[in-house]
Structure 1
Amino acid sequence: MSTKPLLTAIAAACALALPALGQARQVTLTTQLKNYGGDGAYLAVYLTDAKGAYAGTLWVAGGKAKYYKHLSDWNRLSAGDARRLNGVTGASVGAGRTLKVTADLADALIDAGYEIRVDAAVEDMRDSPGEIRLPLTTQNAGKPQPGRQYIQSLTYQLQ
């Protein structure tokens, strides 16, 4: 079972064809933050398709919507998605802490050109859009991906 509530049918949010909904895999994302010496980080974890278009929000860490503009790539790409925050928000993540979330993703998304992207922002510090961009592939599963500024690593496991 998941450690936090999450979109259970990302394929529906992505508006993919109904046959893709038949097979799903549980994906657990573990994000380890660096000890960057600031307040809690706001993170937007989302998917884009092979063309870089927004496909759905997996998780947003940070509960105050007025700060979402600092998650600029995610905010710009997802602006037209009225459902982008349904059941996918939680508290900000402190420096040196770990965020672990689980989602059910349609098998059709894996090895199909989709990317997991993370934008990060910390109050009174520089925003980090595109902190991580990681292709959603079976080959990348279990391999830590370093972030650019606030994130030590992002790892995902496919079950």
Structure 2
Amino acid sequence: MKNTVKRMLLGLCGVFFIAQTAAQEVKYKCMLQMSNYDGLEAYVVVSLIDAKGNYEKTLYMMGPDKQWYNGFKEWNKKLAKKKENLNGITGASIAAGDRSITTFTLDEKKFNSGYKLRFESAVEDGSNHIQDVEIPLNTDDITQKAEGKGYIRYVKLNKVQ
């Protein structure tokens, strides 16, 4: 009888832990609008940046060819050190004037603690914009339209219900 009660309690604790973990991750739909620049398709990398300005995690990469990743000097240094697996978080590069919609998951524990999302853009034979768009990871700013400074015209995030 005691073993049965222990197993039930352990099972309930496990269900509670799984529910807590799932509740901490939230999906956001990201709409990215490119400006009308001259040149080839852009590569865009979306990264999670910690409160000290360090790269923590790559959320998405628009651009499938690894040979061009070295165009992102700061991000590529981090990638070389950390050996991040980009499988499943890469997509097509994006042309001038085009729009891209993608979805990624964010950890709610990172909100309101100095973290931000960084959108870095680069075009072959063009410049690299390390901080093309930066969005503070807080509940007030995450869904605000953010204007770009380089190849990106703007970014808009919406929470997926």
Q: 1:72 deviation in Å? A: 1.8
Q: 1:36 deviation in Å? A: 0.4
Structure 1 runs (4+) greater than 6 angstroms displaced: none
Quote the residue 1:21 is aligned against: 21
Q: Any unmatched runs of 5+ in structure 2?
A: 1-17
DSSP-derived class of the 1:43 partner: strand
Quote the residue 1:67 is aligned against: 68
- Shifted more, 89-98 versus 129-138: the winner is 129-138
Mapped contact 1:111–1:136 kept (Cα < 8 A): yes
Identity of aligned residues (%): 31
Mapped contact 2:34–2:153 kept (Cα < 8 A): yes
Q: Any unmatched runs of 5+ in structure 1?
A: 1-17
TM-score of the two chains, using structure 1 as the length reference: 0.81
Change (3 A) 1:113 1:21: farther
Equivalent position amino acid for 1:70 in 2: G
Q: Pairwise CA RMSD of aligned residues?
A: 1.9
TM-score of the two chains, using structure 2 as the length reference: 0.80
Change (3 A) 1:77 1:133: farther
Q: As a proportion of its length, which structure holds more helix?
A: 2
Q: What is the CA deviation profile of residues 46-79 of structure 1, one whole-angstrom value per residue up to 9, with x for unaligned ones? A: 1011111221111111111111111122212332
DSSP-derived class of the 1:79 partner: helix
DSSP-derived class of the 2:139 partner: coil
Point out the structure with max Rg over C-alpha.
2
Mapped contact 2:60–2:104 kept (Cα < 8 A): no
